[in-house]
Amino acid sequence: MTGIRPLVAGNWKMNGLGSSLAELASLRNRLEAAPVPETDIMVCPPATLLSRAREIVDGSSIMIGAQDCHPLPSGAHTGDISAEMLADAGATAVIVGHSERRTDHGESDTLVQAKALAAYRAGLMAIVCIGETEAHYRDGKTLDILRTQLEGSVPEGARATNTVIAYEPVWAIGSGLTPTPQEVAQVHGLIRTVLGQMLGDAEAGGTRILYGGSVKPSNAAELLFVPEVNGALVGGASLKAVDFYEILSVYAGTRS
């Protein structure tokens, strides 16, 4: 362990109706029965469920995050949601630059950086996602791509307390495929080095770097105990409390 408090965040994506909040209540119950100490736990439901989700977790250790925000605080942007609105609904963090946003909505590094700044403005933690495509991976371009994404997406004023990096290889998301632990260690080491050049070693040394992409109960221990991995961003396996709890409970009993 590096001494950094890990974060395990569940990204529900465009999944979840009111009835799905029973899973969140179930997660809360599991954590109350068998807590996982010294680990930050977050669930990022769709925006429609944020305030109800917040009520369910109130008084528990579970934090609520959102999945995207608009860079501006308010205005004529039909259908968009500002970081301030997310905070008002009970979120304490927001994912920005997820590869599905970058692909589905053509989000650039510049826009992702503006969204991260919006998160800070609203007092939210920004979970900034980066990751290479399958073609980049095959061509050996992973490290170059990640450096470009980090330099373009992470704001200059980023700090360990307001920013989390999520490394999510695009080809690993929802595919059941994962990089080897050696590959993850190499990439996370590079990310920390680049962050050090951008933010200084003190901030970089305390910044959480999550792994994401096909994390499930069967591979969680193998991926989460890789050096320089400080937690996970979990998609599909976060929808069921039983699976999500099993993933985050790899941290149970690892520290005194």
Query: Which residue has 């954590």 as its token pair?
Result: 31
Active site (annotated) includes residue 168: yes
Within 130-149, the residues that bind ligand PGA by CB under 6 A are none
Residue, CB closest to ligand PGA:
235
Q: How far is the CB of 228 from ligand PGA (least distance, A)?
A: 19
Does residue 169 interact with ligand PGA by CB under 6 A? no
Short-list 92, 93, 71, CA closest to 81? 71
Active site (annotated) includes residue 98: yes
* Annotated active-site residue in 98, 100, 132, 188: 98
Does residue 215 interact with ligand PGA by CB under 6 A? yes
Residues in the interface with ligand PGA (CB under 6 A) total 13
Cβ(102)–Cβ(148) below 8 Å:
no
Q: How far is the CB of 172 from ligand PGA (least distance, A)?
A: 6
Short-list 199, 205, 252, CA closest to 225? 252
Does residue 214 interact with ligand PGA by CB under 6 A? yes
Does residue 67 interact with ligand PGA by CB under 6 A? no
3-state secondary structure 170-236: HHHCCCCCCCCHHHHHHHHHHHHHHHHHHHCHHHHHHCEEEEECCCCCCCHHHHHCCCCCCEEEECH
Which residues participate in catalysis according to the annotation?
Answer: 98, 168
Contact footprint for ligand PGA (CB under 6 A): 11, 168, 173-174, 212-215, 233-237
